[in-house]
Amino acid sequence: MFKGSNVALVTPFRDDKLDEETYIKLIHFHIKNGTNGLVPAGTTGESPTLSHGEHEKVIELCVKESNGKLPVFAGTGSNSTEEAISLTTHAEKIGADGALIVTPYYNKPTQEGLYQHYKAINDKCGIPILIYNIPGRSVIDMSVETMAKLYELKNIIGVKDATGDLSRVDQTLKKMGKEFIQLTGNDDNALEFNKRGGVGAISVTANIAPKLCSDFQKFSKSESDNEKKEAERLNKILQPIHHSMFVESNPSPVKYAAKLLGLCDDSVRLPLVEVTDQTKEIVKQALQSAKLIK
């Protein structure tokens, strides 16, 4: 149900308010341009700075506007277990296809704490859950053993792996098998990730290059030699964009790129700020190299 190129949707703001009109346009932009799945209100969607009401509204709009055309895995994680349960049960109630739940940031739970956090959410909901493991931002790293234990629960179906450690794909595949969904959270390693057994990405770059990303994902899993070569060609085109998206803290660079493409404003919420002129030039050059802008 959830593979290929899935966009970690940005949340557009205007005058520091949720820009609903632009957000709806973004959703339809992805439906038209080959994106395989939508991930609203994740960390790329600036979930830590969304109010509870805004968080729910962003997910509601995405489910309503996608209208079954694309699967929606809502970002419902929090470092508060009760808040994560509340957001996840709300996402289930309004018709989301699943939930992407980030490992609790700042608290630094033990592996047992991680297990109990996800188990508590699992026990309160009835939709599929993807674990989001991103130690670079949440400080903690969920072990393969803890993940395997969670996989025994009814709703845990896979992981968005943003560890950057490709050996994790092999370890996870060996421990849980092919049915456990592995999606990379690192656009730049997507080719090798898929070669090792991954089935796609939850992508920042897909916000601004949905067709390139979806074509790349499709060809990267092909058995055809010609299509595998095409995946490698597209990977080379995409690499400068991937790298430019993280010159400064995500999602500031991708929002600036989206502004250049006329998709949305580059406003972000504090403590994030708009990118520097130096970063703007790097982003421009990356988009030009891929012929996304002149």
Q: Looking at the annotation, which residues are catalytic?
A: 132, 160
Is 5 strand, coil or helix?
strand
Q: What is the DSSP string of 62-109?
A: HHHHHTTSS-BEEE---SSHHHHHHHHHHHHHTT-SEEEEEPPSSS--
Contact assessment for residue 215 and residue 193, using Cβ atoms and an 8 Å cutoff: no
Assigned token pair, 273: 């700020």
Q: Which residues pair with 72 in a beta bridge?
A: 38
Residues ≥6 apart with Cβ < 8 Å to 117: 81, 84, 104, 109
Nearest-5° Cα angle at 121, 87 to 60 = 25
